[in-house]
């Protein structure tokens, strides 16, 4: 099934990291300019916190009325805000829905403000969830990925972007809201609640995104794209028969889903296209690392590996990195030297600024901007 039309960190320290990174990166590729009006950012007339309070109160009320989990109730509320109908919604609830819809429709309210409002509700709904896919990619990571895409694509005016593990669509829309190009988005997600949330959120942001409701590791009706992004699902893939179709299948036992997602992403990325993943730091120390090394050497150029600050994670074992690849093609070549770095805490503005200067210098050396 195809439908047309994820994230903020939860504590104050990470909010500070996002604010610092926003200010630093914003000047780097005109993010602040992009965030005026419907393109992105924030205006004085709209309060994300107040809008979230309204959305949260309404979702909780609808949750009681329909006897549904919070996230399903949120999807229903967003559907109503988008103009949907449900006979079980009360007149009082309809009035509150209309009020929220009017706020989102205001021409001075940006895509980013809408995304962040919804994101706060998503974080609440996912808090304490035992399902691994019910997590949100931090906004600070989304900003860095958007920054790199802007650098890699340069003055490209139009390109196609795919997230094979799109979840609620938060990472996908966060990146689309940042880059200064006409972006056609695609996402794939098997969870029915998450993809419904993604569709409703994308529609409210008026983003051009096509979602595939299916197992992302099966065949997709998708032509290869220019850029693939993803917060890779980590764990074992249960469908051994489907996994047998992959080069990165395990020689025995279950295959790693994060390995298969890398291979699947390459299948749907053009030659010369780029892939930007959020990967676990243990990716290259697992028992199937040799197989992965050989696969990557055969199919991609490694552009960069950036370890995220450990302060972003609950423990070192959960730490992740941004892994940037280019799919090999007739006219591609590996960087003279891949960009490898340990990113500083984004709360430290001076160190983060200096790191971005080093990254800019590297890009000028490798890509001759």
CB 283 within 8 A of CB 258: yes
Mean pLDDT, range 50-65, rounded to an integer: 96
Q: What is the pLDDT of residue 317?
A: 85
Q: Would you say domain 139-367 falls under CATH 3.40.50.150?
A: yes
Let me know if the fold of 8-126 is the same as that of 139-367. no
Q: Is the pLDDT of residue 320 over 90?
A: yes
* Dist. CA 293–CA 275, nearest whole Å: 16
Report the relative pairing of strands 255-256 and 236-237 from DSSP bridges.
antiparallel
Q: Is the pLDDT of residue 125 over 90?
A: yes
Report which DSSP code applies to 289: H
Q: Is the pLDDT of residue 274 over 90?
A: yes
Mean pLDDT, range 335-354, rounded to an integer: 92
> Of 185, 135, 125, 94, whose CA–CA distance to 314 is shortest?
135
CA angle (130, 131, 136) in 5-degree steps: 105
* Dist. CA 125–CA 201, nearest whole Å: 15
More confident residue, 130 or 120: 120
Average pLDDT, the chain: 87
* Dist. CA 162–CA 168, nearest whole Å: 14
Q: What is the pLDDT of residue 85?
A: 86
Question: For the ranges 148-152, 194-198, 282-286, which has the lowest average pLDDT?
Answer: 282-286
Mean pLDDT, range 24-50, rounded to an integer: 55
Question: For the ranges 159-163, 177-181, 277-281, 284-288, which has the lowest average pLDDT?
Answer: 284-288
More confident residue, 24 or 253: 253
Q: Is the pLDDT of residue 15 over 60?
A: no
* Dist. CA 140–CA 188, nearest whole Å: 23
**For 151-182, how does the pLDDT look when each residue is reduced to its tens digit (9 = 90+)?**
999 889 999 999 999 999 999 999 999 998 99
DSSP reduced 3-state for 306: strand
Element at 189 (helix H, strand E): strand 182-189
Q: What is the pLDDT of residue 26?
A: 53
Domain ranges of the chain: 8-126, 139-367
> Model confidence at 129, in pLDDT bands (50, 70, 90)?
low
Mean pLDDT, range 274-282, rounded to an integer: 96
Q: Is the pLDDT of residue 364 over 70?
A: yes
Q: Is the pLDDT of residue 18 over 60?
A: no
More confident residue, 71 or 1: 71
Mean pLDDT, range 118-125, rounded to an integer: 95
Other CB atoms within 10 Å distance of the CB of residue 82: 16
The listed CATH number (3.40.50.300, 1.10.150.470, 1.25.40.10, 3.40.50.150) that belongs to domain 8-126: 1.10.150.470
Q: What is the pLDDT of residue 43?
A: 45
Report which DSSP code applies to 187: E
**Tokens at residue 33, please?**
């300019």
């Amino acid at each position: 099934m195809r439908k047309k039309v994820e994230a903020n960190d939860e504590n104050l320290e990470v909010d500070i990291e996002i604010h610092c990174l926003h200010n630093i990166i914003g000047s780097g590729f005109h993010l602040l300019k992009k965030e005026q009006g419907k393109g992105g950012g924030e205006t004085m007339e709209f309060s994300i916190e107040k809008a979230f309070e309204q959305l949260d109160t309404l979702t909780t009320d609808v949750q009681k009325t329909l006897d549904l989990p919070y996230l399903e109730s949120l999807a229903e509320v967003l559907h109503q805000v988008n103009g949907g109908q449900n006979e079980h919604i009360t007149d009082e609830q309809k009035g509150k829905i209309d009020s929220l819809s009017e706020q989102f429709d205001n021409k001075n309210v940006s895509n980013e403000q809408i995304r962040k409002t919804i994101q706060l509700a998503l974080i609440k709904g996912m808090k304490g969830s035992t399902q691994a896919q019910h997590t949100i990619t931090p906004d600070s990571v989304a900003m860095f990925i958007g920054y790199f895409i802007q650098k890699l694509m340069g003055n490209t005016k139009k390109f196609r972007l795919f997230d094979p593990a799109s979840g609620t669509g938060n990472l996908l829309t966060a990146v689309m809201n940042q880059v200064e190009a006409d972006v056609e988005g695609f996402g794939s997600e098997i969870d029915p609640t998450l993809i419904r949330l993604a569709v409703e959120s994308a529609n409210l942001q008026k983003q051009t995104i096509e979602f595939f409701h299916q197992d992302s590791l099966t065949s997709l009706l998708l032509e290869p794209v220019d850029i693939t992004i993803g917060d890779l699902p980590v764990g074992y893939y249960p469908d051994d028969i489907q996994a047998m179709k992959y080069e990165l299948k395990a020689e025995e036992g279950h295959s790693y889903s994060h390995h298969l997602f890398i291979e699947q992403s390459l299948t749907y990325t053009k030659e010369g296209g780029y892939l930007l993943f959020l990967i676990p730091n243990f990716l290259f120390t697992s028992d199937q690392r040799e197989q992965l090394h050989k696969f990557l050497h055969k199919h991609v150029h490694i552009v960069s590996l950036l370890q995220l600050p450990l302060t972003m994670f609950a423990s070192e074992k959960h730490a992740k990195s941004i892994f940037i690849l280019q799919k090999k093609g007739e006219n591609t070549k590996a960087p003279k030297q891949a960009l490898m770095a340990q990113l500083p805490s984004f709360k430290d503005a001076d160190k983060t600024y200096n790191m971005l200067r080093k990254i800019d210098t590297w890009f000028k050396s490798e890509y001759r901007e």
